[in-house]
Amino acid sequence: MRTYNSLDDVNPEIARTGLHSWIQVVLGDVADPIGYLSFRSGKTNAYSQVHVELLEGIARQISPVLKNAQMFEVERGLGDQLDAQNRELQEANTAKSRFLSTVSHELKTPLTIVSGFIDLLADDADQFTAEHVEALNIMRKNSTRLGILINDVLDISRMDAGKLRIEPTVFQVNVQVSELEKSFVPLLDSKNQTLETSISEEEVWIEPDRNRVAQLVTNLISNAHKYSNENSTIRLNVAVEDQNLSVVIEDEGIGISEDDQKQLFTAFFRAENRVTRKAGGTGLGLVIARSIAELLGGDLWLNSIENQGTTVASKIPGISSEPTVDPVDDAEQTMLAQRSRLYPDTDWEDIGKSA
């Protein structure tokens, strides 16, 4: 606070302007003032201690209000800045998704043609030498891997855009698990691994998307295979819990460090170590698996200990009973499914209604 009841001696220049008395107090902190509140007068000795105390009282009352207003302005400025940054990030994410989708579609068409010619050549494999047959098998294996990669990238771009298609179908889980077991035999044999499956002998029926559930389980078993040593065991446990399908996959692999687990469900993230570099992959398998679980109304989580193994568990709702099949409706759905596989972006039901 400053008090000058006579400016004639303190500052003659100000006194010549007609100002002879002046009292002033700080608004806010003395070290970082918001401003000042002052009384000024053309009379000499115009103010007493009463005036000083009055001014200080007013300052105490309005300082918090002014400080809050100042903080509000700062927060609003930061909010505007964050909004601008969020818009830029959203635009960048949209551009990334569009790029991934476009590139994936452009890659898929020539890959389909190449795969078709490989299959045609394989039909006449009896006319080739052993070396040629081996070359064909290598081409087929790599085209399949590329196809999986492209489909994964397409799925990620669809998930980002909220356009991943879910087609609920009632199916028997036991049959699907049996089919998956058979499909993994060649892959697991390549590392002399064993898949131990546990599932109820009673028929289990469920009504999510059959293909997406298969994709979820396939991604998890594939990861367990890739990141487990030779001669190891992978365990698949499928059970019904509170009208949910519980799927648990355990491996004896390299495990995942606590730091890496924090980023594990980030698209394209891969832990940096010798095993992961050798195993290959895109870092999309777990991300897609969890996204599918959530789209189906369920969840997926993971527990892992480095150098001991990983357990991934998922719960999917929709336990059902065996459906009653209408032959006419079944034939129509089969036709729609065939068309959808050929033209995945076409809504055949809408076309039928508008025809």
How far apart (Å, rounded) are the C-alpha atoms in residues 34 and 27? Answer: 6
φ/ψ of residue 72, rounded to 5: -60, -40
Reply yes or no on whether the pLDDT at 193 is more than 90: yes
Dmax (CA) for the chain in angstroms is: 119
* Superfamily grouping for domain 171-323: Histidine kinase-like ATPase, C-terminal domain (3.30.565.10)
Residues 6+ apart with CB under 8 A from 197: 177, 181, 235, 236, 237, 238
φ/ψ of residue 37, rounded to 5: -120, 130
Q: 5-14, 118-127, 284-293, 322-331: which range is least confident on average?
A: 5-14
How far apart (Å, rounded) are the C-alpha atoms in residues 260 and 269? Answer: 9
The alpha carbon torsion through 244, 245, 246, 249 (nearest 10 deg) reads: -160
Give the pLDDT band of residue 54 (cuts 50, 70, 90). Answer: confident
In the chain, which residues fall in CATH 3.30.565.10? 171-323
Task: Find residue 300's DSSP bridge partners.
Answer: 314
Contact 245, 322 (CB under 8 A): no
pLDDT for the residue numbered 156: 78
Q: What tens digit of pLDDT does each residue of 74-105 get?
A: 888 888 888 888 888 777 767 766 766 677 66
Nearest to 288 by CA among 314, 308, 307, 309: 314
pLDDT for the residue numbered 292: 92
More confident residue, 213 or 120: 213
Reply yes or no on whether the pLDDT at 351 is more than 50: no
pLDDT for the residue numbered 352: 44
Q: What tens digit of pLDDT does each residue of 234-270 get?
A: 999 999 998 899 999 999 988 888 888 888 887 777 6
